[in-house]
Structure 1
Amino acid sequence: MEVDGRSAVEVEMQTYFLQCRTMAEELDAVVISIEYRLAPEARFPDQYNDALEASKRILTAEVLDRYSIDPERVAVSGDSAGANLAAAVAQRMALDNSIPIKFKVQALLYPVLQALDFNTPSYQQNGNIPILHRPLMARFWLEYLNGDPTLVPALLANNHTALNQGQEIAAAKAKINWTQLLPAAVQKNFKPVVPLQGDPKLVEMLPGLLDVRASPLLAELDVLKAVPPAYILTCEHDVLRDEGLMYGRRLEEAGVAVSIDHYEDGFHGCTSFAFGPFRFSVGFRSFGNYIQWLIKNL
C-alpha cells in the first residue's frame, strides 16, 4: 500500500517520528527511540537484548549528563511489541543491582505480554477486528520465536497449554488465569479454552513461550514487586486488551501503583492515529492522556 507515494512502512515510521517529536516538545524531555532489530532477520531474544543493552547504556551518568537528563526522571515506554520489550526490560533493570539509576515509571500502550492463551475474552471477542486479527497475532509470535508458521492453528486452539502438558505449563497458566484476573464485566459469557490433549512437542519447539523475557506477564511475584509504577493503555476492540488488564491486576497485587487507561472506542494502534494521513478522535484522546500521565508522574 502507498500513501502519497510512500510505502506503508515509511508512513508508519514517519508516524512514530511525529509521536516522539511531540512527546519531546510536550514533556520538555529527551526522547530516545531504540531501533532494535526486527524479524525475520532477527529472532528472540535479539530484540530483547537490543532493548536491554541500549537501556543499560542510556542509564549511565555519562550519557544522562551528556544529554542533560535528570537521572531521577527517566521512563521506559513502548506500544504493542515495543511495550512488550519495555515491560521485560523494566523487570530486568529493576532487579539489576549493578545499575544504580532506575526507571521512575513504565508506560505500556496496548502491550503484548503472553502467548499461552489465544482464547482470552478479548481474543474471542475481537478475533476478526482490524488491525490485529487473532491468526495474525499467532503468526507474529511464531515469527518472533522462530517457529514454523504451520503451527498457527495449534496455537489458536491452545494445544500448547492442554491439560496433558505438564506442571511447568500449569504453573505458567496460573499467572494468566483470566477467570481470576479479569472482572466479570470483561469476561462476559466467554469460557476458557482448555484442550484435554495437546502436542507435547509444541513447547519443546517453542521454548520462548515460557520465557519471561518474551512473556512479561509470566513474571514471578518478587520480580513484579520491584518494577516501577505503571501506566497501561488498553482498548476494547483489541485482542490484546486482556493482557494489559491482567498485567495491571498482577502488578497491583504485587503492591505496584498502576494506572489503567481504557478506551471503549479504542482499537490496537489507536494512538498512532493522532498523526499522519488517517486521524481519529480516539487517537487524539489516547495520545493526549498518555502525555498528561507522563507529565504528572515523570
Structure 2
Amino acid sequence: MRLRWAGGVLLSVAAAYYIYSPLPSDVNGPWKLMILDALFRSFIHVGDMAHALGICHSVHVLNSVVSWAEVIEARSSPTVHVTDSAFGGVPSRVFQPVGGGAKLRRGVVYFHGGGWALLTGRMRSYDVLCRRMAEELDAVIVSVDYRLAPEAVFPDQFHDALAASRAFLSSEVLQHYRVDPARVGVSGDSAGGNLAAAVAQQMSADDSLSVKFRIQALIYPVLQALDLNTPSYQQNKNVPILHRHLMARFWLLYLGANPSLLPHLLSSPSSLLHPPIPPSIRAYVNWTALIPAKHQKHYRHIAMETGSGEVKEVVPGLLDIRAAPLLAEQSVLSRTPQAYVMTCEFDVLRDDGLMYARRLQDAGIRVTSDHYDDGFHGCMAFAYWPFWFKVGKRSLDNYIHWLDHNL
C-alpha cells in the first residue's frame, strides 16, 4: 500500500514537473495553456522519436493525431450547407448559408495555420470557425486544404493558395455560389496568414484579373525569417504554443532546407545573409523603426555575425516575398486591399504582424491593428470546449465583427 502510494506521489510530481513551465503573469488561462502545451510537446517528442528511428517523418505523427482527434466529415446543418469541393485543383471545404433567395452574398477564402506542415481545414476547430463565419456574415466560406511539407515545399503551398483563390474569384464560380464579386476577402491564421498576405499581394498586382480581394484579414501571421530575434522572439521564445525553435523548424521545413541549419537561423539576422542583403531589404525588418517603443522594451538587436556559406541554399526562399510578404516593396504593398492584422503580446510572431501593419499604413493602406495584451499564439482557435480561453472568444468575436463591418 505504501509502495503504491509512494509511486502515485512520484508520478504526480513527475507529471507536474513536465506540465509546469513559467509563464508571463498576464497571459490568459496560464494553467490551461500549460496543459495544452504539455500535450503538444508530448506529440512532438513522439514524432521526433519516430523520425529518429526511421519510422516516419515527425510531422506525419502529429498529423495522424490531428486526423484521429480533429478531422470531421462535411456535415450540413439547418443553417449551413457544407460540401467538399476543389478550386483550381486544390481540395477545399465550402460553407454556404442555407436560404437567402437570389441575393448576392459575401465570400471569404480562408487558409489554415500549422507551419505549412500541419493541420487541415477539415479540423473541428476550423469547421466551427467557418460555420460561424458563414452564419453571422451570411457569407460563403472556402477553407482551402493546400499541400503540406515535407512532401510539398515552397512555393507549392503558395501556388495552391493562389490557384484556389483565382479559381474561386472566377466569374463562373462566383455566379454559381451567388457571391458578390465586390465583397470577397482573403484570410488566414499563422502560416495561413502568411499565405493570405502573399496571395493578396500577388493578386492585387495582377492587372489581368477583373475581380480582386476587397480585404485581407491576417491572424497572428508569420511574415519573415530574416530576423528571429525581434523583441517578440526574444520575449516569448519559450511561451506556448509556438516556441521560437519550433517556428525556426517550420521555416526550414517549408523552405526545403537542411534541418542542420537550425542554429544558423536562430543565431542572428546576419548569419543567413550570404550574399549580403541590400540595406533596402534590411529596412523592411528593422523593428527599431517599425514597432512601437512599448513593444521594443529593453531588447536590442542581436550582435551581427559573419554570413555563413552553409546557408546559401536557404537565401532565395528567405528573400522571396511569396514566402516573406514583409519584404515586399512599398509599390507592391500600396496596391493591396484594406487590412486587419491581429497580434498577441505573448507570441513570437507579434512583431511580424506589427511591422507589416506599419508598412501597410506607410504605403497608404487602411489598417486595423487588433492587439491582445493577454493573448498567445493560436488563441483564436481556443474559443470552445474543452480548451476554452476568454481571449480566444474575445478575439474571435472581434475578428468576425470587423469582417461584418468591412467586407
Bin the TM-score by the shorter chain. Answer: over 0.9
Give the letter for the 1:229 counterpart: Q
* Aligned-partner SS, 2:313: helix
Residue 207 (structure 1) shift: 1.7
Deviation string for 1:149-207 (max 9, x for gaps)?
11111110026x24974543543221110011011111001001142313034133442
Give the letter for the 1:190 counterpart: Y
Considering fraction of residues, name the structure with more strand: 2
- Alignment of 1:182 onto 2:291: yes
Give the letter for the 2:397 counterpart: G
RMSD of the TM alignment (CA)? Answer: 1.7
* Aligned counterparts of 2:400 and 2:273: Cα–Cα separation in 1: 46
How many residue pairs get matched? 294
Deviation string for 1:240-268 (max 9, x for gaps)?
00000000000000000000000001000
* Aligned counterparts of 2:245 and 2:315: Cα–Cα separation in 1: 17
Find 2:190's aligned residue among 67, 76, 80.
80
Residue 102 (structure 1) shift: 0.9
Residue 65 (structure 1) shift: 0.5
Other-structure match for 1:7? 65
Residue 276 (structure 1) shift: 4.4
* Aligned counterparts of 2:168 and 2:321: Cα–Cα separation in 1: 23
- Alignment of 1:284 onto 2:393: yes
TM-score, normalising length from structure 1?
Answer: 0.95
* Aligned-partner SS, 2:340: strand
1:1-298 → structure 2 map (5 Å cutoff)? 7-9=65-67, 10-11=69-70, 13-158=123-268, 161-162=270-271, 165-298=274-407
TM-score, normalising length from structure 2?
Answer: 0.70
* Aligned counterparts of 1:171 and 1:134: Cα–Cα separation in 2: 26
Give the letter for the 1:141 counterpart: W
* Aligned counterparts of 2:357 and 2:292: Cα–Cα separation in 1: 12
Gaps of 5+ in 1: none
Give the letter for the 2:306 counterpart: Q
Residue 23 (structure 1) shift: 0.7
> Considering only CA atoms, is the larger Rg found in Structure 1 or Structure 2?
2
Other-structure match for 2:24? none
Deviation string for 1:100-131 (max 9, x for gaps)?
10100000000010000010000000000000
* Aligned-partner SS, 2:229: coil
Gaps of 5+ in 2: 1-38, 41-63, 71-118
Residue 292 (structure 1) shift: 0.2
* Aligned-partner SS, 2:182: coil
- Runs of 4+ aligned residues of structure 1 deviating over 3 Å after TM superposition are 6-10, 162-167, 203-206
Residue 16 (structure 1) shift: 0.8
Deviation string for 1:63-105 (max 9, x for gaps)?
0000000111000000000000000000000010111101000
Residue 52 (structure 1) shift: 0.3
* Aligned counterparts of 1:163 and 1:134: Cα–Cα separation in 2: 17
Alpha-carbon contact 1:163-1:194 (below 8 Å) kept: no
Greater RCO structure (CA 8 Å; 6+ sep) = 1
* Aligned-partner SS, 1:37: coil
Counterparts in 2 of 1:164 and 1:91: CA distance versus 1, 3 Å: closer
Alpha-carbon contact 1:64-1:70 (below 8 Å) kept: yes
* Aligned counterparts of 1:208 and 1:151: Cα–Cα separation in 2: 14
Other-structure match for 2:48? none
Other-structure match for 2:85? none
Counterparts in 2 of 1:205 and 1:186: CA distance versus 1, 3 Å: closer
* Aligned counterparts of 1:81 and 1:119: Cα–Cα separation in 2: 19
